[in-house]
Structure 1
């Protein structure tokens, strides 16, 4: 058996040699290597969108109202444009919604307005007693008034009469007062010279003074203006509650005019602070300085 087995192997080897064959191991079917998938494109980063805040509606006067009329008085209407003409009616103090017809006589700042009378017909009143009315809530959100106060502060700190003049109401001028029951003086064309004039004025007696102040504007008002406008003051709209010792700091005849209180607390040893009430008048819808009223030592 061994011989037969060896003979078979020898015969098989000889046959391979004769045919030139080679032994080849069968390879297994190759496993396909998956192609790397392409790198995914980066998703674009979305650009953030910002929704702008709605622009507030500009503040506009809503009508006409009376000013400078004493609380217990009336405003007389005339038959024509002038105080020499006969009286044809009257308007109550602090009246709003004054029914102007749109007809005027004269030139700024001395204009006469034609008014409809309640019983029919028309009369005439002076522009000195008429303002463009802006509701208090609208006034307090008017950013132009903030800019006006900034410009006013700069003009006063620099004692710049020309700059101050540009801020004053072209219709009503600027009324200044040094004491609650003192003398009120109205300036318009003379404003550029307030910080240089040497003309004396009797301003009345301030709250803490023992006698009346008789002096030019620059001497009577200058130090008191700088004591507030020249430092960091507190500001409040249509609120004079920090003014002490005065029953009604903002005069009744100015009820239809809005204002800001600029206040500095009392210094050490003082019992009261210092405050300037700045009245603001609108002319053609633009705010101007109407009044400067002082309260303090």
Structure 2
């Protein structure tokens, strides 16, 4: 569920420390800066190495880390991107810093194979977690106390969050931003960086694309069509009719292309729209439910609580000020 204190405390910036280990992947190191870097979001994003100075990337050229582990242990959020040596021993000082940051109350997250560092620090023991689909078996073998889920984009375990490979790191960062600042802020950043505004963590991380190229007016057009009509009682049959496909064919193609079933995608889109309306308008909660196609107030509350862990009224109270 969301953490309202992240939104209501405007007296200080939320500090995010990105831990760059030797031979890290520069694309993944840059993702937190891309998502959290806008000044209006009120984050302070720091690049940390084991010591300040240059750190070799996986591509053979260095990145300069201005900060060391002392900045990491006082951060509010720590993010560990992928690094080439994840199958080797992670340096003891980095593991100790991760443990101390967690004891100090930090939220710890990993992108891709950064999960191996969290597991080596003992932060995933007894928890559900994920990593790149190619290495989930290895993570489970090395750390049998971790419940490894190989088929999802990210896993939110509250104070420890893990993501699958590479691009799903953007999904993880947008998810954390949504937790902290709400759906409207996350959707605005997603639009600016041309990323999917919302992909739920339970979507499949390894998506098998159809062999045939998409036709003009195919499933992407159907998704856009549905998003403009969330206030209507859409069914999967309606979506299949718009795509001009038999129902079973449409369901197979939709799941293959998006990693989610049509009904699950449609429900997630309705909830995301509801969150944005609760944050940015003073429309009554009953009317928000109707605008999102979630029916009666009781039905809306039930779906919203199941998806977010809180009620629409509590969500609005926490995020409207932000």
- Taking structure 1 as the reference length, the TM-score comes to 0.27
Q: Which of the pair has more CA radius of gyration?
A: 1
Q: Which structure has the highest helix share of the two?
A: 2
